[in-house]
Every structure is written in C-alpha cells, then in structure tokens.
Amino acid sequence: MLKRRIFEEEHEIFRASVRKWAEQNMAPHIEAWNEAGQVSKEVWLSAGENGFLAMYADEKYGGLGLDDFRYDMILNEELTNFDSGFFLPLHNRIVAPYLHKSGTEEQKDRFMPDVVSGKRILAIGMTEPGTGSDLAAIRTRADNKGDHWVLNGSKTYISNGQIAGLYLIAARTDPADPRAIGLFWVEEERAGFTKGRNLKKMGLQSQDTSELFFEDVVIPAENLLGNGRDGFKLMMKNLAEERMIGASGYLARAERAFTVTMEFITERRAFGQPIGTFQNSRFKMAEMRTKLDAAWAFVDHCATEHMEGALSSEHAAEVKLFVSEIEGEIVDACVQLHGGAGYMQEYEISRHYVDARISRIYAGTSEIMKEIIGRGLGLDDRKRN
C-alpha cells in the first residue's frame, strides 16, 4: 500500500487505539447487529466515553476541542474495516457540524453535551418520496407561528432514522419561494413526530434506515437553525465535507475487500497450487493495488485541500465519483476471485459487495457528480441558446 504522508505520529497512535477499541466493542456484535437491523446504543455510548464523537466540540460540552479532519478520516476507515453499518461519520461529520458551526450558543448548550456523549445520536432529514437529489422539490413544510413553527410532511431513506434522538429536518418555509428552506432541530420525543419502519435494504444490514412522519409537530423558534430561509446555503456549505468523508469510507471498504481477497487466494488452492499464483490472479491483484494507491493519493490530496479550506465543490464531486466507482470495480473483481465462495454470505467479501453498491447513490449519485464536474468545466446545458 502507498505510504500516506498526510498522517503524523499522533494520528497513527490514534489509529491503533481505534482499531483496538473496535476489536473489543464492534467485532463481537456484528452478527447480532446485522440480525437486529441496527447497531446498539451501547456502542455509541462507548464511542462517546472514548472521545470519538464530535471531537471538535468545545471542552465545556465534553469535547476535545480537536478540529483535525484527519482524526475523523481514521475513525471512518478503521470502523469500516469491521462494519460499515455503524454510521458514526454521519453523526460526526455530516450532522454535528451544522450545530458546531451554525448553531446558536443556546442550541449548543442544550444539545452538544448529549451529542458528544452519544446520548443523542444524530440524523438528517432531506430526502422525501419522489424528490431524490432534488432538494428544491421537497414538500415538507414549516409554518411560522411566531414563537414556534408547525412542521408537516415526511422523509424517507433516513440513515440512523430508528436509533437517532435528534434530527435536523429540512422544510419549505415559503410556498412562493422554492429556495426558501429552513432547517429545524427535532427531538425524537416531540408530539406528532413518528418514526416509520426500518427499511429493508440490499446491504448495510446493521445500519437502520427509516421513514419519518411529521403531523402538526410544534417546533420552538429556538430550534431553528439559521434564519428559516437559508437552508440551501447551509446544506451546500457542508456537502463538500460529506462527500470527502464518504470517499474515505468507500476506499477503506475497497481496501478491506482487497485484503480479504489476498488472504483467500493465498490459502485456497486449485489444480494443486494457490489461486494467487495463477497469472490472472496476479494481474487482477496488481491492477487493483494500482487503482487503490492512486485513489488513496487523490483522497489524501483532497483531504489536505479540505483542511486548508480550499476544496472546491467540483473536486469534492470528483473524489466522490472516482472513489465510489473504483470501489465498485474492486469489490466486484474480489468476488470473482473468490469464485463460488464469493457468493456465500458466510464469506466477508459478499457483505462488502452489497454494502458498496450504495456508494454510487447516496451523498449525490454518480450522475449528479458528473453534472457538477461538467458545469465546472463550463459545460452547462442551461446556457444553451
């Protein structure tokens, strides 16, 4: 594997501690989590106790005050080696930053301690039935009543939907302006808010994905994030980080697939010799190693740009597109090298194969990524004469 130069000694020490924690707190429970359709709340509390949640939060909230994106990359990569369904990165780097960067001091005082401890797991509600990636088409609405808002509508495909205790919900706040979107903190105990079924998926069996329903849910004015019309701006500001953290996880899963395949072809024999000694196996593994190393170099370059505040939306889209497509190629090739065993659920590679398919869909489909990149090149069909 290519030496990754973005990490320093303290990061590698942290990586070793995360791996040890995962071996003790994740590995023994993966089968049970997959059967239950969600991870346990206990593992979240343990992650909080070990300082793994919202590490950038101020010490007064129980955080470490450690705003170094590389630590969350390491968490993402190491946890993915054990189970991709533990959606800690969603909590840490997709939802909590809204509170950390844009929340009021009152919101931080009220919510951040439980976010850091793991008592309130986070989720975000954007997607609705029929809207897909088109946030301008959302129908969930919030009506301003002065000292409170009234929320009505529904969301679907919400990660951490069953297990979360605090949700950031996007809702239309002005029927006359499709770009007027408000973001609201909604506690799970709010009257009129119900969680639907835990949706059955192709992969990520231990990751709960839900429908959410809101019927005349009263939201205090102090739960509004921003001004009630700037939700688009706030969401767009965080999308580059979401795609960056996603790319790190996708590639970690591809790397794990490569590792288990290397072990398999070294041990499994055919025609009196290890499968790995056949030219086809050697060539396939060589191709995959090259693609992985190139992808890690791109991920680490974009991570450096992100930490410097210079990661453009186009480069974020490029790394998300490239890595998710590479992941798909690698897990598919790894299943093929396993032969019939690769189709059996008892082999780890089959889990990586089905888990990887979603990478080209969520956080923006590959097609949406290509649109963003193409428009950045000046190829915008909206400019046609």
Is 26 within 8 Å of 323 (Cβ atoms)? no
Which 8-state DSSP code applies to residue 230? B
Torsion of CA 65, 68, 72, 75, to 10 degrees: -90
- Give CA 221 to chain center in angstroms: 29
242, 255, 318, 327: the active-site residue:
242
Range 130-149 burial, b when 16+ CB lie within 10 A, else e:
ebeeebeebebbbeeeeebb
Could you give the 3-state DSSP secondary structure of residue 99?
Answer: helix
Burial (Cβ within 10 Å: 0-12, 13-18, ≥19) of residue 379:
exposed
Q: Which of 194, 301, 241 is nearest to 90 (CA)?
A: 241
For residue 353 the two structure tokens come to 């194969």
Torsion of CA 78, 81, 86, 91, to 10 degrees: 30
- Give CA 307 to chain center in angstroms: 18
Is 359 within 8 Å of 257 (Cβ atoms)? no
- Give CA 199 to chain center in angstroms: 17
Q: What separation in angstroms does the CA of 182 have from each of 104, 105, 112, 140, 168?
A: 15, 19, 20, 10, 10
How many whole angstroms separate alpha carbon 326 and alpha carbon 251?
8
How many whole angstroms separate alpha carbon 347 and alpha carbon 203?
14
- Catalytic residue list contains 106: no
The phi, psi pair for 24, rounded to 5°, reads -90, -35
Antiparallel, parallel or unpaired: β 273-274 and 269-270:
antiparallel
Active site residues: 242
